[in-house]
Amino acid sequence: MAGSDSRIRVKQTDGVTQVEFIDRNILDEANIQAIGEEIGSIIERTPQPRLLISFANVDHLSSAALGTLITVNTKIRNKGGKLCLANIDPQIYEVFVITRLNQLFEIKESTDEAMKSFG
């Protein structure tokens, strides 16, 4: 459960942890670090994490946020879990394409599509 000063909203649906960002801009390094730690603790306490991260509310994100996502992806993979990203605005998606991270992450257009990918 996310705390009151949390930068993310977390809910469980059909065995999948759905994470949503509260801030429209994922730029501030301190916030990004806090988000990484919060998601990291979810991963640590879950035997085989199944995580869906939604970017529905996100207008901007920085390379520091991409770095945190990569770390999250690695942690999940190391525990035999699965990470899926969804609801990425076309402008933000371009950031993933430029950095070629669209090839590293599984990205779906909507929450529904992402949920289906978890089977």
Partner 1 sequence: MSHPRPSPTSGHLSLVNDRDQISALEDLVVERAEELGYSRGARFALRLAMEEAIVNAFRHGHRALPAETPIEVEYSLDEDRIRVAVHDQGPGFAPAQVPDPTLDENLEMPSGRGLVLMRAYMTRVWHNAAGNRVEMELRRREDA
Q: How far is the CB of 115 from partner 1 (least distance, A)?
A: 26
Q: How far is the CB of 15 from partner 1 (least distance, A)?
A: 26
Nearest to 39 by CA among 81, 90, 96, 89: 81
Using the minimum distance from each CB to partner 1, give the nearer residue, 19 or 72.
72
Using the minimum distance from each CB to partner 1, give the nearer residue, 32 or 51.
32
**Quick check: 40 and 2 in contact, CB under 8 A?**
no
Give the interface with partner 1 as residue ranges (CB under 8 A).
Answer: 25, 27-30, 60, 62-64, 66-68, 70-71, 73-74, 91, 95, 98-101, 103-104
User: How far is it, in rounded angstroms, from Cα 106 to Cα 72?
Assistant: 13
Q: Quickly list H helices, 1-119.
A: 29-44, 63-78, 90-98, 111-117
Using the minimum distance from each CB to partner 1, give the nearer residue, 19 or 26.
26
Q: How far is the CB of 107 from partner 1 (least distance, A)?
A: 14
Q: How far is the CB of 14 from partner 1 (least distance, A)?
A: 29
**Quick check: 52 and 18 in contact, CB under 8 A?**
yes
